[in-house]
Amino acid sequence: MKNSGTVRLLAFVATFAAVVSTQECLAQAQKQNKETILRIHGSNTIGAQLAPDLAKVFLQKLGADSVKQVDLAAGTEINIEGHFPNQELVKVIEIRAHGSSTGFKGLKDKQCDIGMASRKIKDNEAQELAFLGEMTSSASEHVLALDGVAVIVNSANAAVSKLSFAQLSDIFSGKLINWSKIGWADAPISIQARDENSGTHDTFQSIVLGEKKMDGAAKRWDSNDNLSAAVNADTHAIGYCGLPYVKHNKALGISDGGPAVRPTVFTVATEDYPVSRRLYFYTPAAPENSYTQDFIAFALSQEGQEQVRKHKFVDLTISAEEHKVDVALGTNQNYQVLYKYLTAVRGAKRLSANFRFKGETLELDNRSLRDVERIVDFLAENRAKEIILAGFSDRSEDIARNIEGPTDNKYAKNFDLSCKRAEAVKEELNSRGIKIGDILCVGSEMPVASNSTELGREKNRRVEVWVR
């Protein structure tokens, strides 16, 4: 017969085993009741805070009675979990924010449903993803918000308020190394830069540096927050970051073929600020996951755009503001064209969206296709008495300024293209019941970006909307 001590030990072991077994069953049940419904990978600019908050509200709209954020790796690997009581189910949205390039890789490897990017998809990436559809079409490329890559210096730097692209390029490539060369202290310039995976870095590299390499002495940072803090801690520092991360530093005005423009909500919204960019979601053209299109529609809705504003990015909502036209007068300008434009828009307000086009065509780009409806809604609500469209072109360089000249005159052709772009927008708005008062053709005057790059030329091909 077993003694009482042995009996008690066996009873304890049996009880412990039962508890462990119950806990394992509960854990397994909880695991089985979790369903990952959407995987979003890519840009840290979007994924660190904005995407998680979009995911939270999205799950609430689906019916979750409680939502929580699970940080697997702070700022880069996040799960948003929503509890659905009627289904006894936890639905999970997976967010992995290791840089824009990882979003395209995730789409290619079928590891995510939506790719986040703080830059436009590259040609080679689009080719690799061709099996998902035409990635630059409106079915796959979705402009979520706008951001300015602000160039920042320490607030103690009172002497430097603006820089040209040439100066920026020289500084960040290591050619210009001392502040005394641009009118400040005799001190070395301390460069703060984002890491290679960053879409912010990729945008800055492509827009500002081009084929030049970043100075090897630059300190690299894996987040906008850390870079901004580094500039704030170093009197002689210069860096670049997303617009919401300027914080206590000073943002510089930047010139690229025109007057220096500071990054503001309005100049970023119009994309007049030279180092402005679009934030994108990329999806398969025909997603197999039904939640993909639902999430995109939510993110672009008024409620989704409220989250964009909350995180201090520039949302896509249309507004009208008084806007001073800054003209840098020079010798190679057509003053007759400029005078007509300046006279026509005097006293009018400018809308916060420009229409832009796909390449050299008259076809609206993906942001503008959606902006048509946004602008129609804005104009219907605000009942403007007069609507003015001003068309612009890039400049296939030709010093001749005779717009009445022969057809082989490049300036005349660019002038004609600016007219056709304004007419194309007029037709879009007319077809939706919006009557246009005046059409202005401004040709290649007043570039907002350099005509020496394709990205700059795309920015210069635009139609402004003014209202009274």
Amino acid present at 130: A
Of the ranges 69-78, 215-224, 231-240, 442-451, which one carries the lowest mean pLDDT score?
A: 442-451
Within a domain: 214? no
d(CA 301, CA 320): 20
Please give the tally of structural domains in the chain: 2
**pLDDT tens per residue across span 439-455:** 999 999 988 888 888 88
State the pLDDT at residue 242. Answer: 86
Beta bridge partners of 42: 116
Q: In angstroms, rounded to a whole number, what is the distance separating the alpha carbons of residues 239 and 250?
A: 10
The residues that bridge with 392 in the sheet, in sequence order, are 462
Select from 174, 198, 178 the least CA-distant residue to 189. 178
Classify residue 36: in a domain, yes or no.
Answer: no
CATH for 408: 3.30.1330.60
Whether the pTM exceeds 0.75: the reply is yes
Average pLDDT over residues 235-264: 92
Would you state the pLDDT for residue 399?
A: 47
Per-residue pLDDT, 248? 95
Average confidence score pLDDT of the chain:
90
Q: Is residue 401 part of a domain?
A: yes
- Give the span between the Cα atoms of 390 and 441, in whole angstroms: 6
CA gap 113, 38 in Å, rounded = 6
Does 222 map to a domain? no
CA 412 to chain centre: 34
**Any domain includes 3:** yes
Give 71's contacts (C-beta < 8 A, 6+ positions apart): 77, 78
Q: How far apart are CA 100 and CA 345, in angstroms?
A: 39
The token pair that represents 435 in the structure block: 């009557």
Asked if residue 4 is part of any domain, the answer here is yes
Structure confidence at residue 422 (pLDDT): 98
Least confident range from 30-34, 335-339, 444-448: namely 30-34
How many secondary structure helices (H) and strands (E) does the chain include?
15, 19
Would 14 be classed as within a structural domain? yes
Separation between Cα atoms, residue 86 and residue 424, nearest integer Å: 51
What confidence tens digit (pLDDT) does each residue in 129-182 have?
999 999 999 999 999 999 889 999 999 999 999 999 999 999 999 999 999 999
Angle in degrees, CA 263, 189, 233, rounded to 5: 70
Dmax over CA atoms of the chain, in Å, equals 118
State the residue range of the domain holding 397: 318-467
Average pLDDT, integer, range 48-56: 96
Q: Is residue 452 part of a domain?
A: yes
Phi and psi torsions of 372, nearest 5°: -55, -50
